[in-house]
Amino acid sequence: MVSCFLIHTVCPVSALSAAESRILYARVFGPETGDADFTPEQRRLMQKEKLHVVARQARSAVALSREASGGLCVEAVLGEEAAALGEADSGMFSLGNAELFPHRSVVLWLGVQSLAFSLVCRPHENLLLAEGVLRNIARHCLEELRLLGPGAEMLLKSDRVDALLHRLLPHGQLLFLNHRFAFALDKEIASYVSK
Amino acid sequence: MYAAATESLIKQAREIKEEELQRFCGRIFKLLHTKDVSGDTVDSLQRLNLIVSATKYARELPSDLVMKLQTLLRSSSCPEQLQVLTSSIIRESFPSSVHSLCSDLSHDSRTFSHVASVVLAQVSHILESRLSDGQISRHALPILSKMSTVYPEILTDDQVNLVSRKLVDWLRYASMQQGASMSSGGFFSGPRTRQPAPLTEVDGVVTGDFFTVLCLGQSYTEDQWMNMYTFSMIKSWLLHVPSYAQPCNDDRSEVDSSVMSMVSATSSSSRLLPPKERLREKAFEYCQRLIEQSDRKALKKTDTELQKACIVESVSIMDIICGEDPSYVYRAFPCIKALYGRLNGDLAYARALLPIAQFYLNHSEIAAVDSEAVFCQLFSHCPAEQFNEPMLAFEFVQFCLLNASVLQDRVANYRQSFPNILKFLAGNSSGLIAEFVELLPSLIASDTAIELLHTILDLPCLAAALDLQQRSACYQASDRSAWDQQGAKVAACLDAFRQPSYRGLFLYILRPEAGTGDTIDRLKMLHEILADMAESPRVVQCAQVVPVLLHVYFNTVTQKADEKMMNQLLLVLLERSSLVFSTHLQALCKLHPPLIVDQSREILEFASSPANIYSKEDFYTHVVWVIGEYLSVSYDPRCTVELITSFFESLEAVLFEITQVRQSASPPSFSPRLITVLMTTLAKLATRSQDLIPRVSLCLSKMRTFARSAPVMTCYSEEDTEEIITRAHELINLLKLPNVAQFVLAPSAGGDGPRWHRDTNASLPQGMRAVSGLLHRHSSSLPT
């Protein structure tokens, strides 16, 4: 089971401090337990805070990984989604703070130029499958939202991300999709986007 | 990708005023009441979605709009896009909207549980019914899986039975024919041409056994989709749903359509098993089939990757099943062993080795199967070959962490393999340091602890060597252009890496196992060779994690070290002092004070050379402090007057040398704290061999001149100079009363470090000030 999916920045954002990350899309697959003592308002706030912690840590992980590999970042443009994905760095780390995330969750991240796609997985998840799912979702996001272009479509067309998560990661369930199943779902997504 | 435009849009969404928002909501409300869904409606809803999700604090939406959105969500004729948008808006807006959706939801967990069970009952009902539009079942299953994971006690026995039976059907008895595609046939095609084509395996061969996720078809039937969804959630279901004991009698009979049925007592009578046990049986068979199917060479890369994921999942599921019912172990092992034989040595499948190793760890004892080969491959080969695969590295280390105590006890080469395991850290320091902080204690064994300490200190060297090894493997020596492209520094190191005379050095650093020696003699040479790599980012990141590891190491080792080990550790600290934190020296000596006498020669040698001050001042200061604190007959009866005198003379010489006041002397490059610690230590030693008191008093009396000399005045602050002078004065006074001095300068009970000399909370300065004050008042009545 996946707890949440995030798309966030890994480039410097003028309005934020250097280590902060702007979350452009977040989807939490509830319910979360252990919050019985809080009001819904507090729970929502806590959830947002948790997401920011994840985004910050993932940003830091991306930066350190890129620094260590010393790789040059070639900026891909619209139409070069496959190349951008091929060049992307990826990794995983565990969320340490037991108070925020009691289940020792693992964060899987994929850094594509100035954005990162992060998946927070419950422990004992099939991380090999999760990696494949994350790449597939990232590919769709890059294509459907034209992320390699300059536009701000990401924010207003977030329903497309909802729709593709609905198919590729229903309620946080990772799916074992061979290329035929994946093709069928791709067609559904394409038909949603074209409407 | 991320532009100023995006940033300003977010800003607008966040800063929208309350009245403006209400007006906007009013407009949307009107739009939603029109018959057709216009682009304007969608656009407005998208903006509203952004507004409600952009802030940390929830926005309250007008209740009439919320009601309208909920109605829309529930209506079956609503286009998907609107459903997606309304669902998201309701989720993100002021939480009470969610509550009104689920009528009597409250904070009371018992009530919630009842409501949830109503929802579950509906879900189970959906699963049970044979609705033609199977799309509903598709989503019911993940929801069910999620609820059973989070609230497993919610499901009643009947519900578990019902679901288990359904899962068995989907898992094992899905259709064997392709689904009818939308465009199959046409007006003129007869029934024969509309015959659905057979399913194939991933390599194109027609499939002959039951349907699994690794079967390909042009389009799939509904129950084949359910097969995929079922397998996707089966591990979680088996893990979380509690089992029950009563057998079920009203099992439906069905035809066992399996071509290759397992020949075993369990499966032939599987119809008689209760649903949970039957599900286990079928899941087991499914996993075995997947493992077989993974042997085929897939035509598409997606499918190859899926095969790997299926192997990992299948082995994990079989592991869980064997854990619940050990009778499966004997059926599982032949399969797992054959799988291991296939994957062993294939680097592309390295990640799949981990669940296999876990299986062996959990069940090899029961089955009396020898697991040595598996762990040998895992620890002796895997890290050396794949240290730079971040995902594998993470999973490998997680595996070690999860099983640390068992590995320590039962797998002989686990602890021996720390040089290999540390390669993962060298290759990915920032990503794995948190894990290694927890893992390190399990790698410490008494016979290899010293070697481990050296290896930790050499971690940056290891990172550099691994980097060179990789580059060397990529580029031919003759391809000079590629070589040189990497920069002159790296090229020089690469040359060194290739030289036969340095082979031994590199072979040692890159060794897979411990036990061939603590460290090499020519370590210094290795450091020089690799010096040019010191600035490479990977090496720098590695160097940053070394102090953290040392901290963990010393905390662990000092808890269980014996005298011999402590001696060895002290020697290592002195030998490699530039890298080691002084606190570890202190901790070691505090635990075992006789160390000072044991290693007096080495310590004396270290303390006698002023060169150590300039290169390792902090450590040197601590050495001096430790001498003052623990070189005493009260700690070690072997501490003779000669020993104290020889230490005294060495330190006195050092103090004299560094405080010489000459016309052309340059300002001191060491901190004032060193002076005060030296003075105090000399005074302490003098109280233990009172012949030395006149000498130390003479020495201390020169400190004023030193402190007031021109170079020192320019370099130290006014407070620091005052402190040196005051301290010297206090010590001189104190030493006039040797018995009192002995008491005041005795080791402090708290055993604190050489605190900053102006720390008024530390007992020593306080004690001394008190005595000094007393002396001052009564100085006229004291004998001189």
Q: For A68-127, how does the pLDDT look when each residue is reduced to its tens digit (9 = 90+)? A: 887 666 777 888 888 889 889 999 999 876 666 667 889 999 999 889 999 999 878 999
Dist. CA B376–CA B381, nearest whole Å:
7
Handedness of CA B277, B278, B282, B285 (dihedral sign): positive
Dist. CA B449–CA B562, nearest whole Å:
12
Q: Are B515 and B637 in the same domain?
A: no
A2-194 classified as CATH 3.40.50.300: no
- Stretch B93-120: mean pLDDT: 54
pLDDT interval class at B246 (50, 70, 90): very low
Q: Are B594 and B740 in the same domain?
A: yes
Cβ pair A68:B428 closer than 8 A: yes
Confidence (pLDDT) at B438: 93
Confidence (pLDDT) at B254: 37
Q: Are B400 and B435 in contact, with CB atoms under 8 Å apart?
A: no
Question: For residue B682, is it within any domain?
Answer: yes
Confidence (pLDDT) at B253: 35
Nearest CB to B146 within list A151, A157, A171: A171
Burial string for B310-337 (b: 16+ CB within 10 Å, else e) reads bbbbbbbbbbbbbeeeeebbebbbebbb
pLDDT interval class at B754 (50, 70, 90): low
ipTM of the complex: 0.95
Q: CA of B280: how far to CAs of B105, B138, B373, in Å?
A: 35, 22, 30
- Beta strand ranges found along A49-174 (DSSP E): 89-94, 106-112, 115-121
Report CA B37 to chain centroid distance, whole Å.
Answer: 50
Dist. CA B367–CA B415, nearest whole Å:
25
Question: If you write DSSP's letter for every residue of B253-311 in order, what string do you get?
Answer: P-----SS---SHHHHTGGGS-HHHHHHHHHHHHHHHHHHHTTS--SSHHHHHHHHHHH
Task: Centre a 10 Å sphere on the Cβ of residue A74 and count the other Cβ atoms it contains.
Answer: 10
Question: If you write DSSP's letter for every residue of B726-766 in order, what string do you get?
Answer: HHHHHHHHHHTSHHHHHHHTSPPTT------TT-TTSHHHH
Task: Report how many domains make up chain B.
Answer: 3
CA angle B430, B431, B437 (to 5 degrees): 80
Contacts of A36 in chain B (CB under 8 A): 107, 109
Contacts of A154 in chain B (CB under 8 A): 6
Cα Rg, chain B, nearest whole Å = 38
Q: For A16-66, how does the pLDDT look when each residue is reduced to its tens digit (9 = 90+)? A: 888 889 999 999 887 666 556 777 778 888 888 889 999 999 999 999 999
> Is the CB of residue B87 less than 8 Å away from at least one CB of chain A?
yes
Distance from CA of A19 to the nearest CA of B (A): 16
Whether the pLDDT of residue B183 is over 80: the answer is no
H-only helix segments in B350-498 = 350-367, 372-376, 382-386, 390-402, 404-410, 412-416, 418-427, 429-443, 449-457, 459-474, 480-484, 488-498
| Closest-CA residue of chain B to A174 | B232
Question: For residue B317, is it within any domain?
Answer: no
Return the DSSP state at B378.
I
Nearest CB to B302 within list A159, A182, A195: A182
Cβ pair B99:A40 closer than 8 A: yes
What's the one-letter identity of residue A50? K
Question: For residue B327, is it within any domain?
Answer: no
SS3 labels along B297-355: CCCCHHHHHHHHHHHHHHHHHHHHHHHHCHHHHHHHHHHHHHHHHHHCCCHHHHHHHHH
Cβ pair B305:A132 closer than 8 A: yes
- Domain end call among B73, B104, B137: B137
Q: Which residues pair with A26 in a beta bridge?
A: A6
B515: left (phi over 0), alpha (psi -120 to 50) or beta: left
> Is the CB of residue B631 less than 8 Å away from at least one CB of chain A?
no
Nearest CB to A92 within list B6, B150, B391: B391
Of A180-194, B38-52, B95-109, minimum mean pLDDT range: B95-109
Q: Are B584 and B541 in the same domain?
A: no
Report CA A163 to chain centroid distance, whole Å.
Answer: 15
Confidence (pLDDT) at B147: 79
Q: CA of B338: how far to CAs of B292, B334, B351, B390, B400, in Å?
A: 10, 6, 17, 28, 24
| Closest-CA residue of chain B to A184 | B219
What's the one-letter identity of residue B317? I
Cβ pair A155:B50 closer than 8 A: yes
Whether the pLDDT of residue B561 is over 90: the answer is no
Confidence (pLDDT) at B756: 46
Distance from CA of B88 to the nearest CA of A (A): 8
Q: Are B753 and B583 in contact, with CB atoms under 8 Å apart?
A: yes
Q: Are B596 and B553 in the same domain?
A: no
Residue B378's domain spans which residues? Answer: 370-476+485-560
Dist. CA B138–CA B592, nearest whole Å:
67
> Is the CB of residue B232 less than 8 Å away from at least one CB of chain A?
yes
CA angle B615, B616, B617 (to 5 degrees): 110
Dist. CA B613–CA B609, nearest whole Å:
8
> Is the CB of residue B146 less than 8 Å away from at least one CB of chain A?
yes
Cβ pair A126:B316 closer than 8 A: yes
Of B310-314, B514-518, B553-557, minimum mean pLDDT range: B514-518
Contacts of A157 in chain B (CB under 8 A): 46
- Stretch B487-491: mean pLDDT: 79
Q: Are B525 and B589 in the same domain?
A: no
Q: Are B654 and B540 in the same domain?
A: no
- Domain end call among B106, B137, B168: B137
Nearest CB to B309 within list A15, A33, A132: A132
User: What's the token pair of residue B114?
Assistant: 């009842």
Phi and psi, residue A111, nearest 5°? -100, 115
Question: For residue B533, is it within any domain?
Answer: yes
> Is the CB of residue B524 less than 8 Å away from at least one CB of chain A?
no
Task: Centre a 10 Å sphere on the Cβ of residue B282 and count the other Cβ atoms it contains.
Answer: 25
Distance from CA of B103 to the nearest CA of A (A): 16
Contacts of B236 in chain A (CB under 8 A): 1
Q: Are B410 and B545 in the same domain?
A: yes
Q: Which of A128, A131, A175 to mutate to test the interface with B (most CBs of B within 10 A)?
A: A128
Cβ pair A68:B429 closer than 8 A: yes
Q: For B352-363, how does the pLDDT look when each residue is reduced to its tens digit (9 = 90+)? A: 999 999 999 999
Question: For residue B213, is it within any domain?
Answer: no
pLDDT interval class at B326 (50, 70, 90): very high
Q: Which of A179, A188, A192 to mutate to test the interface with B (most CBs of B within 10 A)?
A: A179
Confidence (pLDDT) at B61: 85
- Stretch B669-682: mean pLDDT: 91
Chain B stretch 395-414, residues whose beta carbon is closer than 8 A to a beta carbon of chain A: 395, 398
Question: For residue B291, is it within any domain?
Answer: no
Q: Which of B1, B424, B428 to mutate to test the interface with A (most CBs of A within 10 A)?
A: B1
Q: Are B590 and B555 in the same domain?
A: no
Chain B stretch 349-378, residues whose beta carbon is closer than 8 A to a beta carbon of chain A: 351-352
Cβ pair B303:A181 closer than 8 A: no
- Stretch A153-179: mean pLDDT: 91
Q: Are A172 and B146 in contact, with CB atoms under 8 Å apart?
A: yes
Of B202-216, B547-561, B747-761, minimum mean pLDDT range: B747-761
User: What's the token pair of residue A61?
Assistant: 């992980």
Cβ pair B391:A131 closer than 8 A: yes
Question: For residue B239, is it within any domain?
Answer: no
Distance from CA of B179 to the nearest CA of A (A): 12
Dist. CA B276–CA B604, nearest whole Å:
73
Confidence (pLDDT) at B777: 61
Nearest CB to A148 within list B1, B143, B235: B1
Task: Centre a 10 Å sphere on the Cβ of residue B141 and count the other Cβ atoms it contains.
Answer: 27
- Stretch B341-349: mean pLDDT: 90
Phi and psi, residue A95, nearest 5°? -80, 115
Return the DSSP state at B200.
B
- Domain end call among B532, B560, B588: B560
Q: Which residues pair with A111 in a beta bridge?
A: A89, A116
User: What's the token pair of residue B603?
Assistant: 């310590």
- Beta strand ranges found along B497-580 (DSSP E): none
- Nearest C-alpha neighbor of A176 from the set A120, A126, A138: A126
Q: Are A155 and B8 in contact, with CB atoms under 8 Å apart?
A: no
| Closest-CA residue of chain B to A155 | B50
Q: Are B530 and B649 in the same domain?
A: no
Distance from CA of B750 to the nearest CA of A (A): 33
Q: What is the dihedral angle through the alpha carbons of B601, B607, B612, B617, rounded to the nearest 10 degrees? A: 130
Dist. CA B192–CA B456, nearest whole Å:
72
How many helical (H) and strand (E) elements, i.e. helices and strands, does chain A have?
6, 5
Dist. CA B618–CA B623, nearest whole Å:
9
Q: Are B507 and B623 in the same domain?
A: no
Task: Centre a 10 Å sphere on the Cβ of residue B762 and count the other Cβ atoms it contains.
Answer: 17
Q: Which residues pair with A91 in a beta bridge?
A: A109
Q: Which of A107, A145, A146, A173 to mutate to test the interface with B (most CBs of B within 10 A)?
A: A173
- Stretch B718-726: mean pLDDT: 90
What's the one-letter identity of residue B737? L
Q: Are B741 and B604 in the same domain?
A: yes
Q: Are B501 and B623 in the same domain?
A: no
| Closest-CA residue of chain A to B229 | A175
pLDDT interval class at A150 (50, 70, 90): confident
- Stretch B404-412: mean pLDDT: 91
- According to DSSP, the β-strands at A106-112 and A115-121 are antiparallel
Confidence (pLDDT) at B153: 76
Whether the pLDDT of residue B766 is over 70: the answer is no
Task: Centre a 10 Å sphere on the Cβ of residue A123 and count the other Cβ atoms it contains.
Answer: 11
Question: For residue B343, is it within any domain?
Answer: no
